[in-house]
Amino acid sequence: MIDVIHDHAFHLYNQKISYLCSLLPNGQLGHLYFGPRLSLTDTDLDYLSQGSSPYAWMANFSNDQPFALGDAQQEYPVYGTGDFRQGSLSVTQDDAPVYPNFVFKDYRISHTKMRDLHHPTSFGNPALTDVLTIHLEDETAQLLLTLQYTIFSDSAAVVRAATLTNQGSEPVMIQRMLSGVLNLPQSRFDVVHLSGNWAKERHIQTQPLTQGTFSVESLRGASSHEQNPFVALHAVNRSFTSGDTYGANLIYSSNFLDSIEVNEWDQTRLLIGIHPASFSWRLDPKTSFTTPEAVFSFSSGGLAGLAQVNQRFVARHIIDPQWRQKTRPVVLNSWEATYFDLNEQKLLSLAKLGRQVGVDCFVLDDGWFGTRDNDLSSLGDWFTNKHKFPDGLGHFAQEIHDLGLQFGLWFEPEMVSPRSQFFQKHPNWVVRPKRGRFSITRNQYVLDFSNPAVVNNIFDQMQKVITETHLDYVKWDLNRSITEAYSPYLAKIGHPQGEFFHRYVQGVYTLYQKLLTAFPQLLIEGCAGGGGRFDLGILFYSPQIWTSDDSDAIERLAIQSGTALAYPLSCMSNHVTAVPNEQVGRTTPLATRFRVAAFGILGYELDLTKLTPKELATIKDQISYYHDLQPLVLNGDFSLLLPRQSNGQNQVAWLLSDHARKRLVLGFFRVLADADSRTVQYMKIPLAQPNRRYWVNGHTGPISGDVLQRVGVRLPIQFNGANREQAQLIGDYQSALLTFDGVTDIKAINRRREEEGKEKVGHV
User: What amino acid positions are annotated as catalytic residues?
Assistant: 477, 549
Q: Check whether 479 is labelled as a binding-site residue.
A: yes
128, with CB counted inside 10 A (0-12, 13-18, 19+), is: middle
Q: Check whether 365 is labelled as a binding-site residue.
A: yes
Q: Check whether 478 is labelled as a binding-site residue.
A: yes
Length of the chain in terms of residues written = 764
Q: Check whether 571 is labelled as a binding-site residue.
A: no
SS3 663: strand
**Ordered alpha helix ranges (H), 519-569:** 536-541, 553-563
* CA–CA distance, 591 with 273 (Å, rounded to integer): 42
681, with CB counted inside 10 A (0-12, 13-18, 19+), is: middle
Kindly report the backbone phi and psi dihedral angles of residue 299, in degrees, each rounded to the nearest multiple of 5, phi listed first. -150, 145
* CA–CA distance, 21 with 1 (Å, rounded to integer): 14
Q: Check whether 475 is labelled as a binding-site residue.
A: yes
Q: Check whether 366 is labelled as a binding-site residue.
A: yes
Kindly report the backbone phi and psi dihedral angles of residue 618, in degrees, each rounded to the nearest multiple of 5, phi listed first. -65, -45
Q: Check whether 477 is labelled as a binding-site residue.
A: yes
Q: Check whether 442 is labelled as a binding-site residue.
A: yes
* CA–CA distance, 423 with 420 (Å, rounded to integer): 5
* CA–CA distance, 92 with 104 (Å, rounded to integer): 22
Amino acid at 26: N
* CA–CA distance, 364 with 351 (Å, rounded to integer): 10
**Other beta carbons within 10 Å of 631:** 13
Q: Check whether 476 is labelled as a binding-site residue.
A: yes
Cβ–Cβ under 8 Å, residues 349 and 332: no
* CA–CA distance, 459 with 451 (Å, rounded to integer): 13
Q: Which of 273, 383, 319 is nearest to 526 (CA)?
A: 319
Cβ–Cβ under 8 Å, residues 560 and 642: no
* CA–CA distance, 622 with 599 (Å, rounded to integer): 13
Q: Does 580 sit behind a cis peptide bond, omega within 30 degrees of 0 on the bond before it?
A: yes
- Cβ contacts of 63 within 8 Å, gap of 6 or more: none
Q: Which of 200, 231, 121, 278 is nearest to 532 (CA)?
A: 200
The annotation places the binding site for substrate at: 198, 365-366, 442, 475-479, 527, 549
The annotation places the binding site at: 198, 365-366, 442, 475-479, 527, 549
